[in-house]
């Protein structure tokens, strides 16, 4: 045999021993390797069953301020604050210098005027009814400058 054939046989034998060693000793050595886990999202092909929920008799108590927009700049010192809440509630609008008390209509609309001071104004609207209350605050800036 020539040298190339002997060298190829030896290299093949060494590679075969390595593969046989990995097959036989690999599971024992795998215990000592760090655990790696990959969490893949699962896709459900079945629709989830809808559970029946009881229908509440009333809408949850809520309050929103539609006007003014938060962080807005106003050029008039008299400001109309309006929004929606639970129908029939009493609404208190608090500004930096004065307050306004008004009632919400049956459909929940309310409106009231307050006076702004130069600079930053925090306006807090609180809605009350017999059982609950809710409050929301917006920040408005007032300047006499015309844009």
Render pLDDT for 50-59 as a digit per residue (tens, 0 to 9).
Answer: 666 665 555 6
In a shared domain, residues 79 and 138: yes
Pair 27, 80 in one domain: no
Find where tokens 């809440």 sit: 85
Residue 53 exposure: Cα atoms within 13 Å on the Cβ side: 5
DSSP structural state of residue 68: S
The partner residues of 140 in beta bridges, in order of sequence, read: 72, 121
Q: In this structure, what token pair is assigned to residue 5?
A: 């054939």
For the cut 70, the answer to whether the pLDDT of residue 1 exceeds it is no
Question: pLDDT averaged over the chain?
Answer: 84
- Residues 6+ away with beta carbon under 8 Å from 100: 81, 92, 93, 112, 113, 114
Confidence of residue 131 (pLDDT cuts 50, 70, 90): confident
DSSP structural state of residue 50: P
Model confidence over 78-125: pLDDT tens digits?
Answer: 889 999 988 888 999 998 888 889 988 898 899 999 998 898 999 999
Domain count along the chain: 2
The pLDDT value recorded for residue 56 is 57
User: Is the domain of 76 the same as that of 137?
Assistant: yes
Residue 117 lies in a domain: yes
| Cβ–Cβ under 8 Å, residues 123 and 93 | yes
72 and 10 in a common domain: no
What's the CATH code of the domain at 85?
2.60.40.10
Residue 105 sits in which domain range?
63-142
């Amino acid at each position: 045999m020539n040298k190339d054939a002997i060298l190829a046989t030896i290299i093949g034998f060494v590679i075969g021993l390595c593969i046989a060693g990995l097959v036989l000793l690999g599971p024992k050595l795998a215990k000592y390797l760090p655990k790696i886990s990959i969490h893949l999202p699962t896709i459900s092909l079945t629709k989830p069953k809808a559970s029946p929920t009881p229908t509440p008799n009333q809408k949850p108590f809520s309050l929103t301020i539609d006007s003014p927009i938060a962080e807005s700049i106003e050029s008039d010192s008299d400001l109309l604050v309006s929004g929606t809440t639970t129908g029939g509630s009493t609404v208190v609008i608090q500004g930096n210098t004065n307050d306004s008390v008004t009632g919400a209509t049956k459909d929940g609309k309310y409106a009231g005027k307050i006076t702004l001071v130069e600079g930053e104004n925090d306006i807090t609207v609180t809605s009350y009814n017999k059982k609950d209350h809710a409050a929301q605050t917006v920040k408005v800036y007032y300047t006499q400058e015309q844009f």
